[in-house]
Amino acid sequence: MMATNESVGILNSAYLAVEYLDSFLPQNPLQQPFKNAWMSMLNNYTKFQIATWGSLLVHEFAYFFICFPGFVFQFIPYMQKYKIQQDKPETWERQWRCFKTIMFNHFFIQLPLICGTYYFTEYFNIPYDWDHMPRWFVIVAQCFGCAVIEDTWHYFLHRLLHHKRLYKYIHKVHHEFVAPFGMQAEYAHPLETLILGTGFFIGIVLFCNHVILLWAWVICRLLETIDVHSGYDIPLNPLHLVPFYGGARFHDFHHMNFIGNYSSTFTWWDKIFGTDSQYQFYVEKMKKQEHVKEKKTK
């Protein structure tokens, strides 16, 4: 009990310290417009409309907005040097097939789940109002906590879906694309959407204290999964500042090799269980080849 109290005291102190430092930062110029928009939304729509159609709009807009740069890269010759599997370019046929499956999953699998958002917020008395909205750093910490939980769920369930007795029935659909691209992030068998998608909701159940977290976590999760499926390793990617972040090369190898690198976001579970060994061998092999090339050019 004493240790628990000490932990709570440390967390409270850390929260107060960050809040104190935050008070010295200049006022965010976007805060007032965001507040006005939020208040307008509350005044013009019901909680059910906000939770259901608002969540759907956030998901659809974020998904295709984040996918858009990767889609454009295929038409820019300069960007091809950052493509990981350069011998496997995107095709219109593959992208159209992917888009049709994505839209089916979004509206026939995910939308029914989204429709339960309102009842979830009502059951747990999750607020919508501006005054109860958490500070930005709390939302960031909550999203990170959700990511850690989702990554853990994803690693073990994803690894299970690769079992030879299960793979061909469910997860094989996602691996139709050996060289992934951003829009393919949610290209999956409906059962996989439900199985791996469960990890998304665990953190929400544990941490959600305002409806804004639902939307913030949706955006964070989409940003991560579309990035690792993008097929491009872009330099100066701000996501690489996240500790233990796997990134596009890490997950691209999973699609290319089919074995190992089962985590969704971080690298620690693969390191702990040694399921990144083939990837590490591949990285060392590529480094040696680059070193040989550099020697020949000198």
Count of CB atoms situated within 10 Å of the CB of 251: 26
For residue 162, pLDDT over 80 is answered with yes
Give every CB contact of residue 294 below 8 A, 6+ residues apart in sequence: none
205's tokens: 């159940």
Write out the chain in H/E/C secondary structure.
CHHHHHHHHHHHHHHHHHHHHHCCCCCCCCHHHHHHHHHHHHHHCCHHHHHHHHHHHHHHHHHHHHHHHHHHHCCCHHHHHHECCCCCCCCHHHHHHHHHHHHHHHHHHHHHHHCCHHHHHHHCCCCCCCCCCCCHHHHHHHHHHHHHHHHHHHHHHHHHHCCCCCHHHCHHHHHHCCCCCHHHHHCCCHHHHHHHHHHHHHHHHHHCCCHHHHHHHHHHHHHHHHHHCCCECCCCCHHHHCCCECHHHHHHHHHHHCCCCCCCCECHHHHHHCCCHHHHHHHHHHHHHHHHHHHHHC
Summarised one tens digit per residue, pLDDT across range 223-273 is 999 999 999 999 989 999 999 999 999 999 999 999 999 999 999 999 999
Q: Residue 2's pLDDT is what? A: 42
Q: What is the pLDDT of residue 298?
A: 62
Torsion from C-alpha of 204, 48, 136, 141, nearest 10 degrees: 0
Q: Which pLDDT does position 291 carry in this prediction?
A: 75
Domain ranges for the chain: 48-297
What is the predicted pLDDT for the residue at 11?
Answer: 45
More confident residue, 11 or 170: 170
Query: Is the confidence at residue 3, as pLDDT, over 70?
Result: no
pLDDT at 152 over 50: yes
Output the pLDDT for position 12.
52
Question: Which residues, at least 6 apart from 233, have a Cβ–Cβ distance to it below 8 Å?
Answer: 82, 84, 247, 248, 249, 252
The count of residues in the chain is 298
Let me know the angle formed at the C-alpha of 179 by 143 and 172, rounded to the nearest 5 degrees: 80
Average pLDDT over residues 7-25: 51
What is the structure's pLDDT at 8? Answer: 42
- The mean pLDDT of 197-216, rounded to a whole number, is 96
Q: Can you read off the two tokens belonging to residue 188?
A: 């999956």
Taking the C-alpha atoms of residue 77 and residue 79, their distance in angstroms, rounded to an integer, is 5
Instruction: Give me the mean pLDDT over the 176-191 stretch.
Output: 95
How far does the chain reach from its first CA to its final CA, in angstroms? 66
Instruction: Name the pTM for this structure.
Output: 0.89
pLDDT (0 to 100) of residue 17: 54
pLDDT at 13 > cutoff 60:
no
The mean pLDDT of 162-183, rounded to a whole number, is 95
pLDDT in tens, 109-143: 999 999 999 999 999 999 999 999 999 999 999 99
Q: Which residues are within 8 A (CB) of 101 and not within 5 positions of it... i.e. 6 or more apart?
A: 187
Distance CA 213, CA 101 (A): 27
Q: Tens digits of per-residue pLDDT, 227-239?
A: 999 999 999 899 9
Residue 96, exposed/middle/buried by CB under 10 A (0-12, 13-18, 19+)?
exposed
Residues 279-298, mean pLDDT to the nearest whole number: 82
Give per-residue pLDDT as tens, 33-61. 999 999 999 999 999 999 999 999 999 99
From the CB of residue 291, how many other CB atoms can be counted at a distance below 10 Å? Answer: 10
Confidence bin at 16 (pLDDT 50/70/90): low
Average confidence score pLDDT of the chain: 90
In this predicted structure, the answer to whether residue 27 has a pLDDT above a threshold of 80 is no
Planar angle of CA 286, 187, 157, nearest 5 degrees:
75
Report the percent of the chain where pLDDT is more than 70.
89
